[in-house]
Structure 1
């Protein structure tokens, strides 16, 4: 039976960490929409796909507790990616980077993985408690609208999730901007809260 507790409850971070370390799923608020989180473990990530009814070829992004934690999942993090991270993290920007060789194949069947640091202190505390990086995708069924409230997430995911962390309505409400850097050139994969022109201006800044 799924449990729901406020994310600011005294034991919320510890309880979430316990669930994640034992392979369970946690729904948590972020600065954009509610996220469905698991440890970066093949069996745990498989539970994400089952809960969301998600096609297995779709990659799962990674949320980090800090910029330094990018080393846990990125095989490389070039100067352009680092400039964007230093400018827009924490925040609603996912950067697609080469992934480390040891990551589970079902996290991403591509040679890359999307990473970001959310602008939500309580979410970052949960991520830190779980080791600094979590597989996190939107807390909804595939092809359904992203959940901006805990009730919306519960209605779609039900008891497939062990613990729901209620942080109230998500203030962003729009999934993050997703970009990659190819040979030094910015490519916007998904439009979101941060406009392409703003990103390009940040890369041009001295």
Structure 2
């Protein structure tokens, strides 16, 4: 009896270590019953009867739960229920001894296999001994596994995933992508109709401009925009990162690769440009050219900080979502107006993940060099 209780106790603790809470609870409960059998040998039949009745009620719930767990645990709980009834009848002297021995033998075999399988599987971290499938499975879980995602959802760590999203963007699709702040909607600057679609997808007011992302400052230098040395140095200190700089717009954007989307990004006179500090997104931009970017949330709602949020909120309107897990930040980037940086300095348009104090500290450091 004591050995049986100890084995069940050990199996229960190991099951809990493997986060098998139902199996652990069952084994610990059975361990308590094994120990409770000492009451019979001690002649305390009244105490055993009261405890056994309480156990029968508890074990009935374990049977229901075990039916959706695995066959071995279900058989063990059923056998324990029958065995407890046998013990109760035995204390009342209404059960033939041979029948009790048979039931105890069956239960012992099931317990031995279940405890051994649980010990082996827990110790080696894999299913060395079969426990059997669940008898019942929830319909909702089946539905969750059967329902396909509303759009293409490749993983960001796969090269094929990046190529899939890049191909979609290059064909004029709108996709959800991770950034170094929160998730965003992206459209190729070569496709103005895709940028228009971004506005419709998130119900964004037309008067709110959309910024562009580039992969590095060398792209900007190659376009030769009329930027002062002070602004160049400021951008070199904030890129890549969570600060977007608003600068004067011009024909140089077409050299940057903005193309047909020139009139749909920024305002008539200015454009916000950002270089993200996220390797996955930088590689994607290298494959597509500059991207028109805005946060991946319905206008006026909270930002999306996980690809699941993008899929559930906007997936049915998108062609793809690049899945990268949790975002690095919970708020968007900080936006700085640099159009008059040489005359009156910079102004903060929106405080985001980079505090205003840090932005101003960077600017003062650059200006005083």
TM-score, structure 1 length as denominator?
A: 0.92
In structure 2, the residue matched to 1:125 is 283
User: 4+ residue stretches of structure 1 with deviation over 6 A?
Assistant: none
Aligned twin of 2:208: 58
Q: Which residue of 1 aligns with 2:335?
A: 178
From 148, 152, 163, the equivalent of 1:14 is: 163
Equivalence for 1:3: 152
Q: Structure 2: which 5+ residue stretches go unaligned?
A: 1-149, 255-260
Aligned equivalents of 1:196 and 1:74: distance in 2? 29
| Larger CA deviation: 76-85 vs 147-156 | 76-85
Higher gyration radius (CA) = 2
String of CA shifts for 1:29-81, please: whole Å, max 9, x gaps: 11100010000131110110111111111100111111122358884333333
Q: Which residue of 2 aligns with 1:107?
A: 265
Cα displacement (A) at 1:117: 0.7
Instruction: Name the residue aligned to 2:217.
Output: 67
Aligned to 2:81: none
Q: Which has the higher helix share?
A: 2
Contact 1:25 1:48 in 2 (8 A): yes
Q: State whether residues 162 and 322 of structure 2, in contact with CA within 8 Å, keep that contact through their aligned partners in structure 1.
A: no
Task: Look up the SS of the partner of 2:322 in the other structure.
Answer: strand
What CA distance in whole angstroms lies between the structure 2 residues aligned with 1:73 and 1:58? 25
Give the C-alpha shift of residue 11 in structure 1.
0.5
Kept in 2, the 8 Å contact 1:83–1:203? The answer is no
Give the 3-state SS of the residue equivalent to 1:193 in structure 2: coil
Determine which structure has the larger strand proportion and give its number.
Answer: 1
Residue 35 to residue 118, structure 1, CA distance change in 2 (3 Å):
same
Partner of residue 181 from structure 2, selected from 14, 32, 35:
32
Q: Is this contact kept in 2: 1:92–1:194, CA < 8 A?
A: yes
Provide the rounded CA distance (Å) in 1 between the counterparts of 2:267 and 2:159. Answer: 38
Deviation, 1:183, is: 4.4
How high is the TM-score relative to the length of structure 2? 0.53
Does the residue aligned with 1:6 lie in a helix, a strand or coil?
A: coil
Q: Say yes or no: does 1:23 pair with 2:180.
A: no
Tell me the distance in 2 between the aligned counterparts of 1:69 and 1:83: 15
Distance 1:142 1:177 in 2: 18
Q: What's the CA shift for 1:138?
A: 0.3
Which consecutive residues of structure 1, in runs of 5 or more, have no partner in the other structure? none
RMSD (Å), alpha carbons: 1.8
Q: Secondary structure at the match of 1:4?
A: coil
